[in-house]
Structures are given as structure tokens and as C-alpha cells.
Amino acid sequence: MVQKIKLRSVVLDCIQPSKLAKFYSDLLGGKTTYEIEHFVSVSIPGETITISCQLDEDYTPPECRVRGKNRRKWSTLILLLRIWKNLCSMHCH
């Protein structure tokens, strides 16, 4: 028997949790389901996963111009996000 693992939540560190949560809510058509001073959760319609944003005062955003070894890591992340988006559109109706 194959065991399935389900991802229920992703928590992102950031400087402005409300602003980042709004970005993902607008992008994915979600809505804020929980909010306190330094933490916001967004649910996505038709999904069991939530995206949460939490304050990390020491967080440094990644630079847009990625070079060298880090460029490969970002390319992998972008590819994974595209695959996830496609899977959600195919299986989450």
C-alpha cells in the first residue's frame, strides 16, 4: 500500500506578514482565515493547504539578480512552483 503525504501548510518568513499574505491571497484567489499581529494565514479555495506569513525582523529578501550556485537553486524553486500550480489546476476543482 502506498502512503500519501499531504502538505497542509506552508509558513513563509517575511518583514511584512499582512502585505505578503495579501499578495498570495490576491494571486491565488484566497482569503485571510487567521490574523494576529505578526502572523497571517490565507486559505486557497478548493485546497486543503494554507499559506501563512510570519514576521522575522532579521529576514533578508532574496536579490532578484541571482548568480552562480544560487541561480540554480532559484531556477529549481521556480520550476517546482510552476509544477505545483499545474497540479492544482488539474486536480483541485
pLDDT, averaged across the chain: 80
The more confident residue out of 2 and 81 is 2
Domains of the chain: 8-60 (3.10.180.10), 62-93 (no CATH)
**Residue 37 — very low, low, confident or very high, per pLDDT cuts 50/70/90?**
very high
Q: Report the distance separating Cα 50 and Cα 44, nearest Å.
A: 7
Is 0.85 surpassed by the pTM of this model? no
How far apart (Å, rounded) are the C-alpha atoms in residues 14 and 24? 13
Phi-psi domain of 20 (left: phi exceeds 0; alpha: psi -120 through 50; beta: other):
alpha
- Is residue 45 over pLDDT 80? yes
The per-residue pLDDT for range 50-77, each reduced to its tens digit, is 999 999 999 887 665 556 665 556 666 6
Share of the chain above pLDDT 70, in %: 68
Confidence of residue 38 (pLDDT cuts 50, 70, 90): very high
Which residue spans within 37-89 are E strands per DSSP?
39-43, 50-55
